[in-house]
Amino acid sequence: MTPALGDLLADARILIECESPSTDLAAVARSAKVVARVGAARLGAAPEKIVLDGRTHLRWRLGTAPSRVLLVGHHDTVWPLGTLASHPCTVEDGVLRGPGCFDMKAGLVMAFHAAAGLDGVTLLVTGDEEIGSPSSAGLIEREARAAAAALVFEASAPGGALKTERKGAARYEVRVTGRAAHAGLEPDRGVNATTELAHQVLAVAALADRRAGTTVTPTTAGAGTTANTVPAAGAFDVDVRAWTVAEQHRVDRAIRALRPVLPGARVETIGGPSRPPLEAAASASLYAALCRIAADRGLAGPARAAVGGASDGNLTAGAGTPTLDGLGAVGGGAHAADEHVLAEEMPARTALARALIEELLAAAPIPPATPAGTRP
């Protein structure tokens, strides 16, 4: 069953024109109402509203059979309120534009159409993915453990490729404490937090492993209070991305083992892994099934890609559930001014996803993937 392009675009416009920046809880709540209305019209049932830490998520249980397939998406975006004024929702020359169209409101619409009329599907739409799923991570993991497979309708990789590997993500803050002193009169009585911070930044950056594809990136940093005072405190943030759990654990151990270089200084590390990797083994069986379905229909199988960005697919794979990501829209410009969707790709791609869901519902249970790890 291939949905009509006009229906897909009409639904997408409704979602796009309800702005939903992740950090604005009221905006996310308004968006959830709109998503619930559009989804209910296509799925024939209203969702359960789940509010966690003030953030609004939606869950549909479709049909009466036990749920076997989990569909995952999010309705929050990175765009602040008012973006529609300068970047309105438009469809011109086959290109859909508007804030959040590619990441991932078009994908949500595709999920609604792909699941319509099916029995045994759970559709989970969260409202905090763009900020790391702080409230919904546990919910996603629980739903994943109850499912035989998880299909994530995030936007595709370039050229429509599916995302069969994703790096795991970790965030840290390294805090340094020294001792203040007058920078001109008696600097030797102080313990310079900026100097200690520099030592720690270099030590952390050295944990990266280019060969393994592990990036360890010191990002924001600050120290001190005034220009004529030996700084007493400072801190910097660290972004870590790794293809494997083993690499995540290696970096985690090393960052937690940081020790001060200057006598009298103290170092404290907070944070840790937020999403485990989506390793290739977690997606292999589902990717092969989708390629076979495409071949049976005389279509070229979609390409696959390994990407550095994380999604809620990392969480479903980390829970041990076979996971295929990037089933959503084809386009580009996520989080950028040129965000767009190639509208003509939406119907066939939705139909292919639906065929995969139908096969999963009819098939014998899928062997579970090996859990990639758990959040701290």
pLDDT at 214 over 50: yes
| Residue-range definition of the domain harbouring residue 65 | 5-166+277-362
End residue of a domain, out of 275, 301, 328: 275
pLDDT tens for 229-249 read 999 999 999 999 999 999 999
* pTM for this predicted structure: 0.88
Nearest to 110 by CA among 311, 328, 326: 328
Task: Return d(Cα 6, Cα 13) in angstroms, integer.
Answer: 11
Q: Which residues, 6+ apart, have CB-to-CB distance to 347 below 8 Å?
A: 2, 3, 4, 5, 8
Whether 158 and 286 share a structural domain:
yes
Residue 293 lies in a domain: yes
Residue 375 has pLDDT above 50, yes or no: no
Q: Are 291 and 160 in contact (CB under 8 A)?
A: no
Pairing outcome for strands 149-152 and 233-242:
unpaired
Residues 22 and 135 placed together within one structural domain of the fold:
yes
Alpha-carbon distances, residue 120 vs 25, 69, 116, 271 (angstroms) = 31, 7, 11, 37
**Beta bridge pairs of residue 221:** 236
Q: Say if residue 345 is in the same domain as residue 229.
A: no
Instruction: Look at residue 104 and tell me if it is in a domain.
Output: yes
Determine the pLDDT at residue 363: 83
Res 302 pLDDT > 70: yes
Residue 216 within any structural domain of the chain = yes
Q: List pLDDT tens digits, range 178-187.
A: 999 999 999 9
Same domain, yes or no: 305 and 252? no
Closest among 155, 165, 4, 158 to 73, alpha carbons compared: 155
125-155: per-residue pLDDT in tens?
999 999 999 999 999 999 999 999 999 999 9
pLDDT tens, 248-301?
999 999 999 999 999 999 999 999 999 999 999 999 999 999 999 999 999 988
Do 131 and 238 belong to one domain? Answer: no
Task: Assess whether 155 and 88 both reside in one domain.
Answer: yes
Give how many domains the chain has, as a whole number: 2
- pLDDT of amino acid 294: 97
Structure tokens at 261: 């270089």
**In a shared domain, residues 24 and 101:** yes
Backbone angles phi, psi at 7, to 5 degrees: -70, -40
Last residue of a domain, one of 275, 301, 317: 275
pLDDT at residue 98 tops 60: yes
pLDDT value of residue 1: 76
176 shares its domain with 158: no
- Same domain for 102 and 61, yes or no, is yes
Task: Tell whether the model's pLDDT for residue 45 goes beyond 50.
Answer: yes
48-81 pLDDT per residue, tens? 999 999 999 999 999 999 999 999 999 999 999 9
210 and 331 share a domain?
Answer: no
CATH number of the domain that residue 222 is part of:
3.30.70.360
- 368 belongs to a structural domain: no
Q: What is the pLDDT of residue 374?
A: 44
CA distances to 102, 116, 306, 348 from 332, rounded to whole Å, are 7, 27, 16, 18
Report the mean per-residue pLDDT for the chain. 95
Considering the domain architecture, whether residues 148 and 36 belong to the same structural domain is answered as yes
For residue 314, give the CATH number of its domain: 3.40.630.10
Catalytic residue IDs: 76, 129
Give domain status of residue 367, yes or no: no
The answer to whether residue 340 is domain-embedded is: yes
Among the candidates 210, 242, 275, a domain finishes at: 275
58 and 79 in a single domain? The answer is yes
- 374, part of any domain: no
Residue 47 lies in a domain: yes
